[in-house]
Copies of this chain bind each other. A is one copy, B any other.
Amino acid sequence: MTDAPLFNRLALIGVGLIGSSIARAARAQGAVREIVATARSPQTRKRVAELGIADQVVETNAAAVEGADLVIVCIPVGACGDVAREIGPHLAQGATVSDVGSVKGAVLRDMAPHLPPHVRFIPAHPVAGTEYSGPDAGFAELFVNRWCILTPPPDADTAAVERLAAFWSLIGANVETMTADHHDIVLAMTSHLPHLIAYTVVGTADDVEKLVTRSEVMKFSAGGFRDFTRIAASDPTMWRDVFLHNKDAVLELLARFGEDLAVLTRAIRSEDGDKLHAFFTRTRAIRRGILEIGQDSAAPDFGRGHAELPQEMSKPYSND
């Protein structure tokens, strides 16, 4: 490789879909010299060792962060505070500490008090994922052409922010910076509300089994329902934590959604076809915008084949 790695030792705390994708991508791109990983459950640690996606798998969070200049916490948002308390005393001088949580205000609030002043704490959220979870679900291309949002505190070290941004760019992401509060309302709209609605619709289908059997629901899901089931199959623990930790923004958007739904329901009840048609026409424009900026594809496979990493994959990583 021509460029030196951006970081010497990456510590990953949690190796699920996101953590294991970071490990694979960081290695493929030569972004770090060494990867140390840990996970709460012995089964996950064993599996990560078998997969060979980290150089070392250690048993404790404290051991994982020793000597690491980049620590990324890849666990459900609700567990971040406790982990910060655990790792705080063991963090190396000047280390960058980050996370991948879908909520940023709560992570900042829960983690910051436990981190020593000598580390650089820069919360992050890669807006990427699938409905699968666990270390086997990850892949190196997960972040390609997806956004990673950094929410550095106002007094963050600029050079450290830039280095973390370079890390995410190198593994394929587009990087954007915003405040934690703004992140939380943006994601409440683009991710948290849609997930909650999808969970609800799938739950409704389960509840009406006297009217429509589950077998019928499954057979005829191609009509639209199956996209909801995919979203609603996402990791329950992660999503429980998202809703508990971004409660205010989600409740605000739920209220607005409820108003919009009431308007459409009224239009159906009063058979106001013009209102329905105008509403459905307006929503097409947003779709066009998404296609234009490349966040989805109009191709038959909807662009969901794996993207490619921006540069050639490096040789298989060696421990020497």
Using A187-B223, A301-B302 as known contacts, say yes or no to A286 and B231 having CB atoms under 8 A apart. Answer: no
The DSSP consensus for interface residues of chain A is helix
**A286: contacting residue among B193, B218, B247, B276, CB under 8 A:** B218
How often does this chain occur in the complex, in copies?
2
Decide: A227 and B222 in contact? CB cutoff 8 A: no
In the assembled complex, A156 has its CB within 8 A of some CB on chain B: no
- The answer to whether the Cβ of A119 comes within 8 Å of any Cβ in the partner chain is no
Indicate if the CB atoms of B227 and A230 lie closer than 8 Å: yes
Partner of A290, one of B192, B226, B231, B277: B226
**CB under 8 Å from chain B, chain A span 239-276:** 239-241, 243-244, 247, 250-251, 253-254, 256-258, 260-261, 264-265, 268-269, 271, 273, 276
Contact in complex: A147, B220 (CB < 8 Å): yes
**Candidates B185, B211, B280; contact of A199 at CB < 8 Å:** B280
Which residues of chain B are within 8 angstroms of A220 by Cβ–Cβ distance?
127, 147, 149, 186-187, 190-191
Neighbouring B residues of A288 by C-beta, 8 Å: 233
Q: How far is the CA of A261 from the CA of B288 in the complex (A)?
A: 29
What residues on B are CB-neighbors of A196 within 8 Å? 261, 264, 268
Contact A190 B216 (CB under 8 A): yes
Of all A-B residue pairs in the complex, the 5 with the closest CB atoms, nearest first, are A191-B223, A236-B280, A233-B287, A301-B301, A194-B224
In the assembled complex, 20 residue pairs joining A and B whose CB atoms fall closer than 8 Å, in A order, are A128-B222, A186-B216, A187-B220, A194-B225, A197-B261, A199-B264, A201-B257, A219-B295, A221-B290, A232-B283, A233-B284, A236-B277, A240-B277, A243-B268, A243-B276, A244-B276, A247-B269, A251-B268, A251-B269, A300-B306
